Structure 1
């Protein structure tokens, strides 16, 4: 647990009260534009932790107001002007080292701010909520060839269900009296053909939930192109992306050209290549009654590595409810393309019991192979 001091420097308390809002305005003027929610978290953290000295206050601000090394380069000199110089690392309590929260590091000794963004290579889960405009490159010739195959095969991969509405048909258990009467008028009251109605089969809804966080940025473009193919050839499809928030992207993906459709998402999906909050995003989906209707009885496909940060219980509860709502819940992850992969991370091991099938999908080619598997089933 983090250490909490019992005595706070009174002069620091006065400086915080007098200067904190001016300090935040100065950060904005220096180019570090902190959104209002993070400012609120900063103030709440000051109240909750009760900093003993300027070093404590520095690290409270660094952990809540900055999201990258560039942000820290602006934050540090600005903080020094308002509150004085501090140590480069938080002081450790020598008497009770077990109670001290260690400074987190990313893979290979990365600074915590780089790890928060998912690492420079985008191979790790992070928690950054910084808005950005991702750039999705054009589809290659091979991708376009696979997309044409997907459009041809996807219809056969989606399970069907009996429609609740009765339609005219050659056979069926119900007599179509209205149609018989209309035709009898033309035949002077004679019933020539006994017309019937039935409930034809129709495709189930398809719900695609696509992870666009930093750890998935090598695969997000391929997943979105797959979603574009699904929206173009299936009757009832809804597509959502999630990283640190939930975004509905069905309408932008209705554009005819795949490159234009995916490129338009750069102004819509503002949490791409950032942090990962799978449980919170899925719970936001389930908290919207309109979205829940989409999931009911649908083929639900989650395209994510399942690398959740923090408490995995919200993710476990959300995936469990999605499994109960939908017809089938499929989880496609790029990690499962490795034959040695085992779902032993906290997030995946928690939701594995609610998933109907776990498969490896890292690009359009592997997605096409899974579609072929669904057709055979």
Structure 2
């Protein structure tokens, strides 16, 4: 491809800036790979840098894959290539990345973090870390260890923002469950007679090779029900962040929130940007930090959504403290139906952070007999244990009734 006369010499800084811009988009969550970066550089060479609109159109045509990333791309382009004398600096190929001291641009927090990331040190300093660098590493690991056991309700604003970033980086292993549907497999236990006879026709019926099948694994259905009442405010914010990760990793995920009414937030949580997803989900919750009517909300879920989303042996994650505004009236029956409709029901209760917790509340006594697992959900370590439990469930290593749930049911007062 012929180079544009305004694109500058090959050894200039333009290639580095295009690469840094693509890297910032990838850090912000857009799907940009090394091949896309090379295509972006060729596109800039083709259209030149004399017109800002042409530059944006060329980069968007190569780097923008999904319509939902359009707002993020426009904001990143405006911030990264922002300069009073854009033409003169681009012609000189000296345009740096955006480093505006004291400026707090509006928009995505994840984009600001990606654009404000520190540059790697020079090659001469990479081999020998300075004492300050070693100190930063030690503080980073100790800070993560402290956040792992710290209660969400006791975190400062900075701790809470760092916890949200750690939850975004939480890696969930691939989940699969075995089904009754069989698929061809060379070492399967079941012989497929129809496929074997069909294969034998190729040899005139003298030789019949055996064709075997095995259960076909598939991604499980994961359903999350989160209590957003006033007593669950801080814990619900963290759990919604975890639900956002599940919504973008699991193809069969459904998310609901409930306070005084039930709200389906699956579609808002599908957005790749956590900040935009949280804003869209919050706009759909008219009862945030209000009262709690667990029985009515579970009844509405069983009536309108149970048959749609709980097929194929779903895993249900129920996040609530069990403190019902209605005094647990009519709560046992919808809980029993929910338990019968899913493969496994996991109750996440932040009140388990207390060593002296006893199931004395009416709502807890009504719900506890109908759960398969009863877990705390007040810290990062407890959420990590939840991820491992979900993985064990998908691998088929989880019994229907767990001893932990039985032990808690044995503590209920008569």
Superposed CA deviations along residues 159-203 of structure 1, whole A, max 9, x for unmatched, are x2x323322211331327459748976x89997954333322334
Distance 1:137 1:243, change over 3 A: farther
Q: Does the Cα contact within 8 Å between 2:317 and 2:347 map onto a contact in 1?
A: yes
Separation of aligned partners in 1, 2:206 and 2:333: 62
Superposed CA deviations along residues 245-294 of structure 1, whole A, max 9, x for unmatched, are 11111121111122221221122122111111110000001112x43342
Residue aligning to 2:112: none
Matches within 5 A, 1:139-288: 140-149=161-170, 151-153=171-173, 155=174, 160=177, 162-172=178-188, 173-175=190-192, 177=194, 181=198, 194-288=210-304
Higher relative contact order (CA 8 A, sep 6+): 1
Residue aligning to 2:307: 292
* Per-residue deviation, 1:338: 1.5
TM-score of the two chains, using structure 2 as the length reference? 0.51
Separation of aligned partners in 1, 2:253 and 2:297: 19
Separation of aligned partners in 1, 2:286 and 2:253: 22
* Per-residue deviation, 1:322: 1.0
Separation of aligned partners in 2, 1:225 and 1:176: 49
Separation of aligned partners in 2, 1:174 and 1:293: 34
Superposed CA deviations along residues 1-45 of structure 1, whole A, max 9, x for unmatched, are xxxxxxxxxxxxxxxxxxxxxxxxxxxxxxxxxxxxxxxxxxxxx
Matches within 5 A, 1:1-377: 140-149=161-170, 151-153=171-173, 155=174, 160=177, 162-172=178-188, 173-175=190-192, 177=194, 181=198, 194-288=210-304, 290-296=305-311, 297-375=313-391, 377=398
Q: Does the Cα contact within 8 Å between 1:204 and 1:299 map onto a contact in 2?
A: yes
Q: Does the Cα contact within 8 Å between 2:167 and 2:242 map onto a contact in 1?
A: no
Q: Does the Cα contact within 8 Å between 2:255 and 2:264 map onto a contact in 1?
A: yes
Distance 1:137 1:273, change over 3 A: farther
Residue aligning to 1:94: none
Q: Alignment partner of 2:234: what SS? A: coil
- Uncovered stretches (5+) of structure 1, i.e. residues with no partner: 1-122, 124-135
Aligned residues: 236
* Per-residue deviation, 1:332: 0.5
Distance 1:147 1:183, change over 3 A: farther
Distance 1:272 1:169, change over 3 A: same
Q: Does the Cα contact within 8 Å between 2:223 and 2:316 map onto a contact in 1?
A: yes
Separation of aligned partners in 2, 1:138 and 1:192: 66
TM-score of the two chains, using structure 1 as the length reference? 0.55
* Per-residue deviation, 1:374: 4.8
Distance 1:315 1:191, change over 3 A: same
Q: Alignment partner of 1:336: what SS? A: helix
Residue aligning to 1:70: none
